[in-house]
C-alpha cells in the first residue's frame, strides 16, 4: 500500500521520533508499505515520520528497486563515527521540487537494528552516507533545509507559503 508522504509544514516532520521497540508483524507491514511508497515516489530513502509515524525507522535503496541487495531497512540507527565531508545537491520527498547543496559526512558507520531486532552495522560512503545522514536527521525532526543559510531557508519557506496559498502544496 502506498502511503501519503507528508510535506514540509506538517508537525510530524519536526518531532523527535521514538525508538522502535516492537519487532513484530505490524512493523513488517509498515516497512513493506514504506518500501512501496519509496519506490513509487520515487526516492532513495524514506523515514517513518514522512508517513506520519514518529518512530526511529528508515528505508534506503540507492537502486530504487532495481537491485534487491541494495535495500536497507534500519531501526534505531545511530551514527557511530563519521569521516570527511561531501558537498552535493540534495532533495527530500517531503519538500518536492526543491534541491540545494548540503554538506554531509563523506563516510560514516551506522549501527542499528534490522526488522527482526538484530544488530546491524553499516559502513556507508558517498551517496549512501549522505542518505543515512539525511534519514537520521528526519528521525530527529531535522530537514535538509535546516542545514542551509538563514537567507536560503527563508527563501524556500516563502516559496512554499505561496504554493500552499494557491493550494499547490
Ligand atoms: Ni527527506
Domain boundaries, the chain: 11-84+105-144
Question: 26 CA distance to ligand 1 centroid (A)?
Answer: 23
According to the model, what pLDDT value does residue 14 have? Answer: 98
Model pTM? 0.97
Residue 41 CA to chain centroid, in angstroms? 13
Question: 83 CA distance to ligand 1 centroid (A)?
Answer: 22
**Alpha carbons 140 and 107: distance in angstroms, whole number:** 20
Question: 153 CA distance to ligand 1 centroid (A)?
Answer: 15
**Alpha carbons 53 and 15: distance in angstroms, whole number:** 10
123 is catalytic: no
**pLDDT tens, position by position, for the chain (169 residues)?**
999 999 999 999 999 999 999 999 999 999 999 999 999 999 999 999 999 999 999 999 999 999 999 999 999 999 999 999 999 999 999 999 999 999 999 999 999 999 999 999 999 999 999 999 999 999 999 999 999 999 999 999 999 999 999 999 9
Taking the domain 11-84+105-144, which CATH number applies? 3.90.45.10
Catalytic residue (choose from 36, 85, 125, 135): 135
Amino acid at each position: 500500500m502506498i502511503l501519503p508522504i507528508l510535506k514540509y509544514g506538517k508537525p510530524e516532520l519536526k518531532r523527535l521520533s521514538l525508538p522502535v521497540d516492537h519487532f513484530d508483524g505490524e512493523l513488517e507491514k509498515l516497512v513493506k508499505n514504506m518500501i512501496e511508497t519509496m519506490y513509487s515516489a520515487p526516492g532513495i530513502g524514506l523515514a517513518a515520520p514522512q508517513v506520519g509515524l514518529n518512530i526511529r525507522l528508515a528505508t534506503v535503496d540507492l537502486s530504487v528497486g532495481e537491485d534487491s541487495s541494495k535495500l536497507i531497512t534500519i531501526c534505531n540507527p545511530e551514527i557511530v563515527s563519521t569521516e570527511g565531508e561531501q558537498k552535493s545537491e540534495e532533495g527530500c520527498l517531503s519538500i518536492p521540487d526543491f534541491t540545494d547543496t548540503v554538506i554531509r559526512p563523506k563516510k560514516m558507520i551506522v549501527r542499528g537494528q534490522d526488522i527482526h531486532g538484530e544488530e546491524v552495522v553499516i559502513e556507508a560512503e558517498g551517496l549512501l552516507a549522505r542518505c543515512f545522514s539525511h534519514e537520521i536527521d528526519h528521525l530527529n525532526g531535522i530537514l535538509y533545509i535546516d542545514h542551509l543559510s538563514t537567507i536560503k531557508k527563508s527563501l524556500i519557506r516563502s516559496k512554499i507559503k505561496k504554493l500552499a496559498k494557491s493550494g499547490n502544496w
